[in-house]
Amino acid sequence: MDSAIRLRGVVKRFGPITAVDGLDLDVPLGSCVGLLGPNGAGKSTTMKALTAQVIADEGEIEILGHRLPGDSKQARAVMGVVPQLDNLDTSLTVEQNLLVFSHLYRVPSAERKDAIERALVMANLTGRREAKVDQLSGGMRRRLLITRALLHQPRLVLLDEPTVGLDPQVRQELWALIDRLRSEGVSILMSTHYIEEAERLCDDVTIMSHGKAVAVGAPGELIAEHAGPEAIEVYGPPARLSEVEGIARSRGWRTRRTGTSVSILHANGGDPSLEGERRITNLEDVFVLLTGEEIN
Amino acid sequence: MAFAPAAEPRRLGRLERAALQGVMVREVVNYSSFWRSSTFSSTVDPTIYLLAFGFGFGSLVSTVGGYDYIDFVGTGIVATTVLFSGAFPAMYSTFVKYEFQHTYDAILAAPVDTEELVTGEGLWIAARTGVYGCVPMLVATVFGLDPSWGMLLVPFIAGLSGLGWAFFGIFIAAKSKAIESFSYWQSGLLTPMFLVAGTFFPLDQLPTWAQIAGNVNPLYHCVELVRHAVFGFEGWADVGHLTFLIGFALLAWRLAIKFMERKLIL
């Protein structure tokens, strides 16, 4: 087995809408893969399919060698899932939340106490074990939500938008936590809106658009392939931006709008008629280029 | 594609003890934070009915269906408690956990299937109902209902009835897209059933159609079985009542699972 997750030709329809449309996805063992895509690209449906809360209409899904949906329960026993929506039991204490999930994740009774202590340390919540969840800050809750999924020391962790809606400093704290898991050899699939998060944490990313994978690879490779090393960013009034786009198109360069400016990609050497700031390209350029949508 | 034998070869079965235990531990731990309000509403409501009917109606009639009125209503009230502490908490807690707390997302991401989720939650509510069901009956002993050994069976009868009503409540919650839909079930089905169960007045004075309706009401069979447990069993009739309650629980169980799966697994 060399894949933690392997999807082939997965299709999921909801009535007339095809949410996932022939998706291939691989998470090699021990790697961290980011699933990027604009809203409605099919990320959440894909994540739900991995726990068999969504049953695919077509295609194959294998998790740590278990074929879904038939063997999904075995798969769920060896993976941890961090949902996008906080579903902690808010009237319970930190420790009680962990206790409940140590049962649900079938941690043997002799190891339960240690597992809970380990989670408390990892979440940096040993001093707040008796606190009710509704007394915790947003960052603490998210740390608890993540460590709750690690009680049974899973070999695979699914993170659905793990840092959405959090302050930058809290987000960085969580990145450290995720990076630590990665260094311990846990396989990770992370769906995210935040390009920077994927760039920092992921070995590979899969960019989804309209239910399909439109690009797969390491962030650096995707940037080099789709955006080139440098971009020229031209600012100006809307009429000027349209003009710039015309010039770039006539040279065969690709452009993307970034609100107040136009970024010209692959413009190595540039053009004297295009005055703008040169900057290093990033994964966001690739994302917007391939999905045709700004991130929101 | 060939995989190394890293994965557990054994396929996990249905209705595993570990999964049921996980679901029930969650319920028990949560219960520790709201048991006061839950116990209050589940036992005080039926006790008020008991006292209201006992004093109000009891002053007009001394015996009903061959029983002293306090004996009649003091045993029948068990079924009311079963409904109040079985169906209603199941309806509301299922809906809240699904709609607002997203609890089921978390549980189903662990090695627990919908069947185990529904079964575990139903069993826990049934256990509670078995205990709560006896409270107004014990109150009735203060007002003249004589204790009997048969009362020791009442928690089990209430628990079995409660199991059916818990599953039925989960089924209602699974069928309802909005919590407002509960009104239709409550006013259209549960309230008539609660009144036409032989708790407060016997069914044999009612029109034939109402007697027939009463006979398919699981609460009626609970009332009869409790009364007979306390005052003496009536042979095959009670086997029939018991069978009906078991059948109701089984039917409601499968219905709850089917509709919860439809709601939770897309």
Question: Which among B1, B101, B110 is the nearest to A101, CB-wise?
Answer: B110
Express each pLDDT in B57-71 by its tens digit: 888 888 888 888 888
pLDDT at A295 over 50: no
- Both tokens assigned to A263: 């970024």
**Option in B11, B30, B264 nearest A53 (CB):** B264
**Residue A183 forms part of a structural domain:** yes
Q: Is residue A143 part of a domain?
A: yes
Q: What is the pLDDT of residue A115?
A: 93
A42: in domain = yes
The CATH number of the domain where A109 resides is what?
Answer: 3.40.50.300
Residues A213 and A153 reside in one and the same domain: yes
- Check whether B170 has a pLDDT greater than 70: yes
Name the band, by pLDDT with cuts 50, 70 and 90, for residue A249: confident
Q: Are B243 and B161 in contact (CB under 8 A)?
A: no
Note whether A29 contacts B: Cβ–Cβ < 8 A. Answer: no
Are A167 and A247 in a shared domain? Answer: no
A104: contact with B, CB 8 A cutoff: yes
CATH classification at residue A258: 3.30.70
B68 against A278, higher pLDDT: B68
CA angle B121, B126, B131 (to 5 degrees): 135
**How many inter-chain contacts (A to B, CB under 8 Å) are there?**
104
Same domain, A93 and A201: yes
pLDDT confidence tier of residue A158, bands split at 50, 70 and 90: very high
- Whether residues A172 and A276 share a domain: the answer is no
A265 vs A116 pLDDT, higher one:
A116
Torsion of CA B89, B93, B94, B95, to 10 degrees: 110
Q: What is the DSSP letter of A134?
A: G
Residue A73 to residue B29, Cβ atoms within 8 A: no
Name the β-bridge partners of A32: A188
Give the model's pLDDT for residue A25: 92
From A186, A217, A248, give the residue that closes a domain: A217
Over residues A203-207, the mean pLDDT reads 91
Q: Are residues A182 and A250 in the same domain?
A: no
Is residue A133 domain-shared with residue A252, that is, in the same domain?
no
A169 and A41 housed in the same domain: yes
Q: Give the pLDDT band of residue A294 (cuts 50, 70, 90).
A: very low
Q: Where are the alpha helices (DSSP H) in chain A?
A: 43-50, 72-77, 94-104, 109-122, 138-148, 168-183, 195-201, 219-226, 238-251, 283-291
Helical axes B154-175 vs B218-231, angle rounded to 10°: 170
- Boundary of a domain, candidates A191, A217, A243: A217
Domain final residue pick, A217, A247, A263: A217
The residues that bridge with A234 in the sheet, in sequence order, are: A262
Looking at the domain assignment, is residue A269 inside a domain? yes
Query: Token digits for B164?
Result: 């059916």
Q: Flag if A100 and B29 touch (Cβ within 8 Å).
A: yes
Angstrom distance (rounded) from CA A243 to CA B72: 90
Residue A198 lies in a domain: yes
Q: Are residues A244 and A103 in the same domain?
A: no
Q: What is the pTM of this model?
A: 0.86
The verdict on residue A261 lying in a domain is yes
* Inter-residue contact A287 to A207 (CB < 8 Å): yes
Q: Which residues of A touch B96 (CB under 8 A)?
A: none
How far lies A23's CA from each of A221, A294, B75, B78, in Å? 21, 22, 61, 56
pLDDT value at residue A269: 61
Q: What is the pLDDT of residues A34-63, one digit of tens each?
A: 999 888 888 889 999 999 999 999 999 999
Query: Both A240 and A260 in a single domain?
Result: yes
A88 and A213 share a domain? yes
pLDDT score for A270:
60
Q: Is the pLDDT of residue A244 over 90?
A: no
Report residue A265's pLDDT band, with 50, 70 and 90 as the boundaries. confident
* Of residues B36 and A273, more confidently modeled: B36
Please tell me whether residues A36 and A153 are part of one structural domain.
yes
Each residue of A67-107: pLDDT tens digit? 988 889 999 999 999 998 889 998 899 999 999 999 999 99
Instruction: Flag if B265 and A53 touch (Cβ within 8 Å).
Output: yes
CB-CB neighbors (< 8 A) of A74 in chain B: 7-8, 11-12, 111
Q: How confident is the model at residue B28 (pLDDT cuts 50, 70, 90)?
A: very high
CA distances B79 to A239, B180, B202, Å, are: 77, 25, 14
Q: What residues make up the domain containing A92?
A: 28-52+79-217
Do A145 and A177 fall within a single domain?
yes
User: Which of residues A168 and B20 earns the better pLDDT score?
Assistant: B20
Joined tokens for residue B170: 């989960």
Q: Do B3 and A1 touch (CB under 8 A)?
A: yes
- Tens of pLDDT, residues B88-137: 999 999 998 998 888 999 999 999 999 999 999 999 999 999 999 998 88
Q: Is B105 in contact with A84 (CB distance < 8 Å)?
A: no
The pLDDT-based confidence of A271 (bands split at 50, 70, 90) is: low
On the question of pLDDT at A236 being above 90, the answer is: no
A216 has a chain B CB within 8 A of its CB = no
Whole-number pLDDT of residue A268:
65
- The per-residue DSSP string of B140-168 comes to HHHTTPPP-GGGGGHHHHHHHHHHHHHHH
For chain A, the domain total comes to 2
Q: What is the pLDDT of residues B198-251, one digit of tens each?
A: 888 888 888 888 888 888 999 999 999 999 988 888 889 889 999 999 999 999
- Please say whether the beta carbons of A171 and A197 come within 8 A: yes
Tell which residue, B148, B84, B108, B89, has the closest CA to residue B23: B108
Asked, for residue A12, whether it belongs to a domain, the answer is no
Task: Please report whether residue A212 resides in a domain.
Answer: yes
Mean pLDDT of all residues belonging to chain A: 87
